[in-house]
A = this chain, B = another copy of it.
Amino acid sequence: MSTNPESIPLPAVRRLSLYLRQLEALARSNQATVSSKELGRALRLTDAQVRKDLAYFGQFGHPGIGYRVDEVIRRIRRILGTDKTWNATLVGLGNLGQALAAYRGFGRKGFQLVAVFDADERKVGRPVEALEAVVVQPLRELRETVARLNVRLGIIAVPAEAAQAVADQLVAAGVRGILNFAPVALLAPPHVALTSVDLAVQLEQLSFQVGMQTSSVRPATERG
């Protein structure tokens, strides 16, 4: 009984991606079915968690059998929306931007990079390495190009100071979602989806974990 979207826990949506990744790995090793227990073990989750998560999105499993790997893969892709292709644009061709331009995962998840922008006039006009038939454009052409090519997603890889202005332009141009790599909290209207990836935040989380472990792992042993 696929629950109505509003009531699905956000963490469950995040885990859906992990299930998919794991299922894809199982498919590559030609495993046909998998149980919630096995799936949970690989991702360090309880079996109940796995079952409940999947059940939020529909009837996936077969009692006595488990989950059929390729069936579930298909259905999760559909739910996540990565079974269709969308045009995307990348703004900012610094180090990170170049790595993103060369990243094959966009295509695999249904996002096609059809335009790239940069503020640096020296980069404008050059072809983008690793992307067929894409040439760096100046920011002032963003709006028109996004509309003409029916771009639905914008990827921001510019310095923090410039990020909000770029986001505003992307929104004005009509994108439906923004993936932000700049280390700032962006504002976007509610009809535009926004996801941020901040490497500094990840580094800090790791640093904290390390500090935590070394200070508390030996509760009684290492005191004297």
Contacts and interface: CB of A to CB of B under 8 A. Distances in A.
A210 B178 CA distance: 10
Nearest to A160: B25
Contacts of A110: 207
Interface residues of A, number: 67
Interface in A1-32: 5-6, 13-14, 16-18, 20-22, 25
Interface stretch (A47-55, A116-124, A212-220): A212-220
Contact of A206 (B191, B195, B209, B215): B195
A199 B6 CA distance: 25
B13 A205 contact: yes
A38 interface: no
Interface in A142-184: 152-153, 176-179, 183-184
Contacts of A82: 203-204, 207
Task: List the number of copies, as a whole number.
Answer: 2
A117 B203 CA distance: 20
A106 B184 contact: no
Given A13-B205, A17-B204, 17 more contacts: A14-B201, A17-B198, A17-B200, A17-B205, A18-B201, A80-B204, A80-B211, A95-B102, A96-B99, A96-B103, A105-B200, A109-B207, A152-B210, A176-B213, A178-B206, A190-B213, A195-B202
20 contacts: A17-B204, A18-B185, A25-B184, A80-B207, A81-B207, A81-B210, A81-B211, A82-B207, A105-B183, A105-B203, A108-B200, A109-B200, A109-B204, A177-B207, A177-B209, A179-B206, A190-B217, A194-B209, A195-B202, A195-B205
Q: Which 8 A-B pairs have the closest CB atoms?
A: A99-B99, A193-B209, A81-B211, A17-B201, A95-B102, A81-B207, A195-B206, A177-B210
